[in-house]
Amino acid sequence: MDYSKFLNEKVQGIKPSGIRKFFDIANEMDHVISLSIGEPDFTTPWHVRQEGIESLRRGHTWYSPNRGFMELRSQISNYFARRFNVEYNPETEIVVTVGGSEALDLCLRTLIDTGDEVLIPQPSFVCYEPMTVMAGGKPVIIETKAENEFRLTAEEVEKHITPKTKLLILPFPNNPTGAVMRRTHLEEIAKVVEKHNILVLSDEIYAELTYGKERHVSFADIKGMKERTIVVNGFSKSYAMTGWRLGYALGPEEIISQMLKLHQYAIMSAPTTAQYAAIEALKHGDSDIERMRSEYDIRRRLIVDELCRMGLTCFEPEGAFYVFPSIQISGMTSEEFCEKLIFAQHVAIVPGTAFGECGEGFARVSYSYSLKHIKEALERIERFVNEQK
Ligand code: PMP
């Protein structure tokens, strides 16, 4: 049967994620060593898991309130004020979602009308573009550049603004490049945002994973920006809780209350067990964050040094858990490089083009793996690079 006339045109037009393709190849081969995954290799800290288990033991198996448990929202509010200096009212300015992913989707569907333009810096996480399209918006891509260490500049933002621009997505710390934005960079962008009267969706899911001297600065902490920003964050990366599927959005009451309607009808409420665990994570998890962050940092240094030594040069990424080396010395496209690497040496990494066309010439290497695993993968990558000479 021909289903194409039944299927939504926009959905049919969406390309499957370029990350998946390499997972799928890797899954079908023996002895593949992967540096392709974007999730922590750590298990959720035991005391956090215990709270989830305990909530089940007590029989807490019901829906939670639409916005999420009040206690969790209060803890999120304390956490955000404590770590990032911005205060949100737990009654009205927070909605707990199914991962940061749902929060991104809710935000785009709440703000975007047909034809509105959404500024999307790339390379960046794969979901912004298709979600914008599904919300009826027009993605306008801004290429970030290796020579700027993949930061977004205010000039580039301004160049892409038209009367139809409604929203800028700020994806920092960045997946896949590891780029971070400093306060001064954000202040420059804030001027443009204010001048052109647009809003910002700031995806700060990697906020806890920064390695430079300066901690992550939330865009909502820039003067005048709290009222123009929806911050998305979650538990997946900072607390190694990807499978619990819990995130949240923070923003002005007028926007959060509209997002809540979509959340009510599509989802009802975020997972109950996960919320009990997340309360514990926020109350007592700061040292877990620090422990995992230091471990990532050791791996990051090793991988950057080694890749640069092999000629796969990369700038030093200061956030998330990815390195984004140039593969240009190979003379291959990103896809060719990654495909040949997986077949020749059984190492899976992701072509830069999975994160936007401007990722051509680069590849994403994840360091959310053990040092032993990373060392083995690096040896194989070096063998591959030498064979190509
Ligand atoms: N934003 C970015 C930049 C991500 O990399 C991811 C996950 N890879 C997410 C959002 C979504 O994470 P989750 O839904 O698990 O919170």
For ligand 1, atom 8, the nearest C-alpha belongs to: 38
Q: Which atom of ligand 1 is nearest to the CA of 39?
A: 8
For ligand 1, atom 12, the nearest C-alpha belongs to: 100
- Least confident span in 11-25, 54-68, 269-283, 340-354: 11-25
Average pLDDT over residues 130-146: 97
Same domain, 241 and 110: yes
Q: Is the CB of residue 314 less than 8 Å from the CB of residue 147?
A: no
Per-residue model confidence as pLDDT tens digits over 30-76: 788 889 888 899 999 999 999 999 999 999 999 999 999 999 999 99
Q: How many domains does the chain have?
A: 2
**113: burial class by Cβ within 10 Å (0-12, 13-18, 19+)?**
exposed
Q: Which atom of ligand 1 is nearest to the CA of 104?
A: 10
Q: What is the pLDDT of residue 197?
A: 98
Q: Which atom of ligand 1 is nearest to the CA of 100?
A: 16
Same domain, 150 and 278: yes
- pLDDT score of 21 more than 80: no
Calculate how far, in angstroms, residue 190's C-alpha sits from the geometric centre of ligand 1.
24
Q: What is the pLDDT of residue 77?
A: 98
Examine residue 3 and state whether it is found in any structural domain, yes or no. no
Q: What is the pLDDT of residue 111?
A: 98
Residue ranges making up the domain that contains 141? 46-285
**Of the candidates 285, 315, 335, which is a domain's last residue?**
285
Same domain, 57 and 27: no
Same domain, 31 and 85: no
Backbone angles phi, psi at 357, to 5 degrees: -60, -30
3-class SS at 223?
Answer: coil
Q: What is the pLDDT of residue 22?
A: 78
Over the chain, what is the mean pLDDT?
96
Q: What is the pLDDT of residue 18?
A: 78
Q: What percent of the chain has pLDDT over 70?
A: 100
Same domain, 112 and 217: yes
Per-residue model confidence as pLDDT tens digits over 320-370: 999 999 999 999 999 999 999 999 999 999 999 999 999 999 999 999 999
**Of the candidates 269, 285, 301, which is a domain's last residue?**
285
Same domain, 184 and 279: yes
Q: What is the CATH number of the domain that holds 15?
A: 3.90.1150.10
Average pLDDT over residues 227-247: 98
Examine residue 4 and state whether it is found in any structural domain, yes or no. no
Q: What is the pLDDT of residue 213?
A: 85
Q: What is the pLDDT of residue 145?
A: 95
Q: Which residues of 29-63 are buried (b: 16+ CB within 10 A; e: fewer)?
A: eeebbbbbbbebbbebbeebbebbeebeeeeeeee
Q: What residues are in contact with ligand 1 under a 6 Å CB criterion?
A: 38, 99-101, 125, 171, 175, 203, 205, 234, 236, 242, 247
Same domain, 204 and 296: no
Q: Is the CB of residue 62 less than 8 Å from the CB of residue 379?
A: no
Q: Which residues, listed in sequence order, are joined to residue 319 by a DSSP beta bridge?
A: 210
**Of the candidates 285, 313, 348, which is a domain's last residue?**
285
**196: burial class by Cβ within 10 Å (0-12, 13-18, 19+)?**
middle
Same domain, 28 and 66: no
Best probe residue, ligand 1, of 102, 105, 122, 125 (max atoms within 8 Å of C-beta) = 125
Q: What is the CATH number of the domain that holds 86?
A: 3.40.640.10
Calculate how far, in angstroms, residue 241's C-alpha sits from the geometric centre of ligand 1.
11
Best probe residue, ligand 1, of 170, 237, 366 (max atoms within 8 Å of C-beta) = 237
Q: Is the CB of residue 202 less than 8 Å from the CB of residue 228?
A: no
Closest listed residue to residue 193, CA positions, set 169, 217, 215, 212: 169
